[in-house]
Amino acid sequence: MSNTAITLGLNTVWTVLTASMIFFMEGGFALLEAGFIRSKNHVSIIMKVLADLVFGVLAFFGVGFGLMFGKNLGGVIGSSGFFLSGQLMHLPTTIPHAAFWLFQAAFAVAAISIVSGAVAERMNFKAYLLYILVMTTVIYPVSGHWVWGSGGWLGKLGMEDFAGSTVIHAMAGFAALAGAQLIGPRIGKFGTGGRQFSFAPSNLPLAAIGTFILWFGWFGFNAGSTLNAEASDISQIAVNTLLASIAGGGSAMLYTLFRNNHADVGSTINGVLAGLVAITAGCAFVAPWAALLIGAAAGIVMIFGTVWLERLRIDDPVGAFPVHGLNGVFGTLMVGLFAIKGGLFTTGHWHLLLVQLLGTVVISIWGFGMTFVALKGIGVLVPLRVSEAEEEIGLDLSHHGTVAVYVENVRRSAPAHGSKRLPASGRTGLFFEESAES
C-alpha cells in the first residue's frame, strides 16, 4: 500500500471518528437541557434533539451542504453539490468527499441544537420542526459559506474562525435570542414590578453528565477540524481547548463562591461551556496562556450576560445566549487580539481584529434577523407557542402523550382520584398511577 493511500486512510478514520464525537454531543445537549428545565418537559427536549438529528441532517444533505460548500456565487452562496451530487469547489484533499460531508453535517446539527434549549418548555413542536428545516437549509449554510466556503466574502477578507465560535455558536446563540424573545417567557417567570422568579433545575446531576459528554465531544469539534490526522497542531488544539474550558468553569465557580458564599453548580457548568465556545475560533491560533485568559474571561462574560438577559425579561432556560451567543462573539474577537500571527497584542496589527469584528457582527445579526423572520412566517402556518393549559401540564403529556419517569406503583384497577391513567410502555392492560406534576 502506498504512503498516499495510508495517509488518506488515516485522515478518513480521524475525520469519521471526530465527526462521531460531535454527533455524540447531541446526547450531551439532551441531558444538559433536560437537567436545567422542569421534569414535566424532559421528553419534549429529548424529542427536539432527536428531531434536530433526523430533520437537520436530511435538510443539510439535500440543500444546506451545497449552499455552504458549492461553487461560489458572488462570495455569498454556494450553487452546487445538492444531495451530494455535482461539482463542489476546493474541498479538502486530505479526506474523501463523503467524510467531509459527515463532519459538516455534525456541525449543522450542533447549530440547531443550541436553539432548542432557549425555546424549551413552551414552543410548539410542529413549529420547531419547521424551524429546523429553515436553519439547516438556509440560515446556517449561507452565513457559513461567507467564512468557510470557497470564495466566501468574509474568508477572502481574512476572517479566522477555526472551528466555529461565530459560524456556529454566535450565529445560533443570536438565533436562540430571537426565538426566546419572540416566543416569550414561560408562564410565571416574570411578575409585575420587575419581579423575577426562578424555576429550579429538575436534575443537576443529569445536566452535569450532559456537560461531560459535550466536553468530551468538543475535543472532536476542535481538533477534528484539522481534517488531517497528520496535522502537527492537533495536540496543541486539544490543550488549548482543555485550558480554556477549565478556566471558564473555574472563574464562574470562584465568582459565585465569593459573591454568594457558595459555588453555584449551574454557573460552573455553563462556565465550562462558555470557555469551550470562546476558544473554538482560536484554538489553532493562540498560545496556551492566551487560551487560559480567554476561558477565564468567558466564564465571567457568561455570568453577567445571564444577569443582563433576565433584566431584559427574556427567558432562556439553559443560558444558550450567554454561553453561545455572547461567548461566540467574544472568542472570535479574542483571535484578533491574541492570534500568534496577526493578533493586535502579539504583532501590533489591527487588520485581523477589525475583520473579526465585522464578521462576528454581521453573522450574529444574520442569525437573529433570519430567525425572527422565519419564526414570524412559521407562526402564520402553525402556532409558535403552546396553549397555557398545555404549558401548565407540561409538553411531555400535552405534546407527546407520555412522561419521562413513571411511578413504580403498578395498578390493574382504576387509578386513585386525581391521578392520570397512562398506559405502561410496552405492556398490555397495565397502567401506572401518575400524579399531575407542576
Asked if residue 414 and residue 297 are part of one domain, the reply reads no
Whether 400 is in a domain gets the answer no
The residue written with cell numbers 422542569 in the block is 38
CB of 318 within 8 A of CB of 339?
Answer: no
Q: What is the pLDDT of residue 198?
A: 80
Task: Look up residue 345 and give its amino acid.
Answer: F
Q: How many domains does the chain have?
A: 2
Asked if residue 420 and residue 374 are part of one domain, the reply reads no
Q: What is the secondary structure of 208-233 as a DSSP string?
A: HHHHHHHHHHHHHHHHGGG--TT-TT
Asked if residue 271 and residue 234 are part of one domain, the reply reads yes
Q: What is the pLDDT of residue 428?
A: 34
Phi, psi of 413 (to 5 degrees): -90, 180
CB environment 422-435: b (16+ within 10 A), e (fewer): beeeeeeeebbbbe
Whether 396 is in a domain gets the answer no
Asked if residue 290 and residue 145 are part of one domain, the reply reads yes
Whether 390 is in a domain gets the answer no
Whether 299 is in a domain gets the answer yes
How far apart, in Å, are the Cα atoms of 41 and each of 200, 281, 283, 398?
13, 33, 36, 10
How far apart, in Å, are the Cα atoms of 221 and each of 158, 246, 357, 363?
22, 17, 23, 20
CB environment 280-298: b (16+ within 10 A), e (fewer): bbbbbbbbeebbbbbbbbb
Asked if residue 217 and residue 77 are part of one domain, the reply reads yes
pTM: 0.92
Tens-place pLDDT, residues 227-257: 999 999 999 999 999 999 999 999 999 999 9
Asked if residue 419 and residue 299 are part of one domain, the reply reads no
Asked if residue 110 and residue 250 are part of one domain, the reply reads yes
Q: What is the pLDDT of residue 89?
A: 66
Residue 113 CA to its chain's centroid (Å): 5
Q: What is the pLDDT of residue 409?
A: 54
Whether 395 is in a domain gets the answer no
Is 363 exposed, middle or buried (CB count within 10 Å of its CB: 0-12, 13-18, 19+)?
A: buried
Q: What is the pLDDT of residue 232?
A: 95
Strands (E) located in 284-412: 410-411
Contacts of 425 (CB under 8 A, 6+ apart): 402, 406
Asked if residue 313 and residue 424 are part of one domain, the reply reads no
Domain housing 337: 3-381
CATH number of the CATH domain containing 314: 1.10.3430.10
Whether 368 is in a domain gets the answer yes
Asked if residue 426 and residue 303 are part of one domain, the reply reads no
Asked if residue 84 and residue 23 are part of one domain, the reply reads yes
Whether 394 is in a domain gets the answer no
Asked if residue 120 and residue 28 are part of one domain, the reply reads yes
- Distance separating the N- and C-terminal Cα atoms of the chain: 64
Low-confidence ranges of the chain (pLDDT < 70): 1, 87, 89-90, 407-438
CB of 256 within 8 A of CB of 40?
Answer: no
Q: What is the pLDDT of residue 436?
A: 40
Report d(CA 78, CA 80) in Å as an integer: 6
Whether 397 is in a domain gets the answer no
Q: What is the pLDDT of residue 1?
A: 67
Asked if residue 416 and residue 371 are part of one domain, the reply reads no
